Amino acid sequence: MWYQHLLIVIYLTILCCLAVYGFHRTILVWLYFRHKRNRPQPKWRFAEEELPKVTVQLPLFNEMYVAERLIDAVVRLDYPRDRLEVQVLDDSTDETQGICRKKVQQLKRQGYQIHYIHRDDRTGFKAGALENGLRHATGQFALVFDADFMPNPGMLREMIHFFSDEKVGMVQARWGHVNRDYSRLTEVEAIMLDGHFVIEHTARHRSGRFFNFNGTAGMWRVETISDAGGWQHDTLTEDMDLSYRAQLKGWDFVYLYDTVSPAELPVEMNSFKSQQFRWAKGSIQVALKLLPTILRSKVPLRVKTEAFFHLTNNFAYPLLLLLSIFLLPNLLVRTHHGIREVLLLDLPLFLGTTMSVISFYIVAQREVTPKGWKNRLKYLPLMLSVGIGLCVNQTRAVLEALMGKETEFVRTPKHGVSARGENWTAKKYRAVKSLVPFFEIFMGLYFAVTIVVAFRGGHFLSMPFLLLFLVGYLYVGSLSVHQRR
């Protein structure tokens, strides 16, 4: 029947599109190894008396558990005190205000150049706070840290010398993880982030492609921000937006793999999903805003191609959700589908999608932890499942961006949890509730039915993949419901 052929064509088309995005990850791994030895070096190093003034900006909103920890870490930065200015940009509406005011006054009495700047109007959210802070900043450079970061004392000195090259507009450090071993969820989050910071950033930077400031643990030349049009708040990822505008203006960016700033990973599934939602929606908003300009620009084709995949990467989530929905009908109509067709069509496409992702993260773990990377491989199946389980949440983010639906910048709740066994459930911050977890659980039950159909139809080669979908949807959905209680 014609509709059976149509279902099969749709199913294979979705698989092909996902395989293309998977192949792109393989390209990034290849670029990583090709340019791995091209470590960036500063043009020259500032003498001690020549070190420029730096303004450290700390955008905060209701961060009572981590604000003081962050401020303490920042004032311990190894840098001349007369050339280090700290701005606590606090838009908080809770006890964080009192904590920050008290801490700032205490440090002022000790001789630090530290200022508390509070806004009652959160226009522009984080971008607005940073923009407002720059109006009062006295530094030539602005180093930004989110509330959950704990910068090492030496990182500012490691970064500043790269600005001896007047073409350099931004220097980004790698994120570390203070609570990686807190739970299975934080282990999965760490693996995901390591893939981005170890492979993607290194490959893009050292091969001459565009890459982005990650919103924190990065330092800007203030002139670059102004030249690129300043902080704008028409997307949820103001960092990515400004990054591409600045690089289109001709500014060079530097990524320092060896400079690491530890940060706290979300310990709760709903907070993790909120963070991922914002990043996904924001990247699509930036794609809609800037991709036409990038494709029309005079930058090399390799830069345009990488920018396309970087900014549209989250389209893989709606494709994955569609694949999830079409798997059951596909199994039902392919009653005469033999082992030969599976080996020629399904298996290569599934392997092209999954193996490229697996190898991407294996390489990242081997690079970041040369001696202990094998111990982390046990988390890869769960990481793949969580990536699948997130696709309902992320598809909603992509669709909202495509429809132009505006939402406020929702911060990721931070609980100040770093050691295994610490309790976060008594803390007051929670992610926003939604109906998404119930749809995720429904999708898990849908795959329980799909597995039964596959078993009865003799599609045994599909079982490992179907189990990844089943576990992913049920794990993400049920943990979201359980933890928000």
- pLDDT (tens digit, 9 = 90+) per residue, 160-191? 999 999 999 999 999 999 999 999 999 999 99
Return all residues near 481 (Cβ < 8 A) that are at least 6 apart: 437, 438, 441
Per-residue pLDDT band at 413 (split at 50, 70, 90): confident
Tell me: the pLDDT tens digits for 359-407?
A: 999 999 999 998 889 899 999 999 999 999 999 999 999 999 999 998 7
- Asked if 265 contacts 190 with a C-beta cutoff of 8 angstroms, the reply is yes
Separation CA 212–CA 243 (nearest Å):
5
Return all residues near 241 (Cβ < 8 A) that are at least 6 apart: 232, 234, 235, 282, 285, 286, 289, 290
Residue 132 lies in a domain: yes
9, containing H or E segment: helix 2-35
pLDDT value of position 4: 73
Residue 239 designated active-site? yes
Of 146-155, 166-175, 215-224, 454-463, least confident by mean pLDDT is: 454-463
Q: At 102, list the tokens.
A: 């008290």
pLDDT value of position 336: 54
pLDDT value of position 424: 77
Separation CA 416–CA 69 (nearest Å):
9
Angle at 262 between CA 43 and CA 372, to 5 degrees: 100
Angle at 101 between CA 220 and CA 425, to 5 degrees: 90
Residues 135-163, mean pLDDT to the nearest whole number: 97
Residue 300 lies in a domain: yes
pLDDT value of position 351: 64
State which residues form the domain around 67: 47-313
Residues 80-100, mean pLDDT to the nearest whole number: 96
pLDDT value of position 387: 95
Tell me: the pLDDT tens digits for 222-257?
A: 999 999 999 999 999 999 999 999 999 999 999 999
3-state class (DSSP) for residue 103 = helix
Q: At 262, list the tokens.
A: 């530890």
pLDDT value of position 115: 98
Place of tokens 């708040």: 233
Q: Which of 193, 385, 189 is nearest to 268 (CA)?
A: 189
- Asked if 324 contacts 451 with a C-beta cutoff of 8 angstroms, the reply is no
Residue 212 lies in a domain: yes
Tell me: the pLDDT tens digits for 287-331?
A: 999 999 999 999 999 999 999 999 999 999 999 999 999 888 887
Residue 458 pLDDT > 90, yes or no? no
pLDDT value of position 350: 66
Whole-number percent of the chain with pLDDT over 90: 77
pLDDT value of position 461: 75
- Give the chain's mean pLDDT: 92
Residue 358 lies in a domain: no
Residues 82-89, mean pLDDT to the nearest whole number: 97
Residue 319 lies in a domain: no
In terms of DSSP bridges, do strands 84-90 and 113-118 run parallel, antiparallel, or are they unpaired?
A: parallel
Residue 442 pLDDT > 60, yes or no? yes
Residue 455 pLDDT > 70, yes or no? yes
**Residue in 90, 91, 148, 252 annotated catalytic:** 91
Of 33-42, 63-72, 411-420, 446-455, least confident by mean pLDDT is: 411-420
Residues 94-123, mean pLDDT to the nearest whole number: 95
Separation CA 31–CA 35 (nearest Å):
6
Per-residue pLDDT band at 355 (split at 50, 70, 90): confident
Tell me: the pLDDT tens digits for 1-11?
A: 667 778 878 88
pLDDT value of position 75: 97
Residue 196 lies in a domain: yes
pLDDT value of position 9: 83
CATH number at residue 198: 3.90.550.10
436, containing H or E segment: helix 436-456
pLDDT value of position 159: 98
User: Structurally, how many domains does the chain consist of?
Assistant: 1
pLDDT value of position 331: 79
Q: Which of 251, 225, 86, 93 is nearest to 165 (CA)?
A: 251
**Residue in 90, 239, 241, 252 annotated catalytic:** 239
Residue 342 pLDDT > 60, yes or no? no
CA distance readout (Å), 467 to 133, 208, 277, 377, 443: 50, 40, 24, 18, 12
More confident position, 416 or 470: 470
pLDDT value of position 422: 78
More confident position, 51 or 416: 51
Residue 72 designated active-site? no
Q: Which of 346, 352, 299 is nearest to 326 (CA)?
A: 346
Model's pTM, two decimal places? 0.93
Residue 343 pLDDT > 60, yes or no? no
Separation CA 129–CA 118 (nearest Å):
9
pLDDT value of position 372: 85
Tell me: the pLDDT tens digits for 13-63?
A: 888 899 899 999 999 999 999 999 999 999 999 999 999 999 999 999 999
Residue 388 lies in a domain: no
Residue 175 lies in a domain: yes
Cα 279 off chain centre by: 6
Residues 199-219, mean pLDDT to the nearest whole number: 97
Whole-number percent of the chain with pLDDT over 70: 95
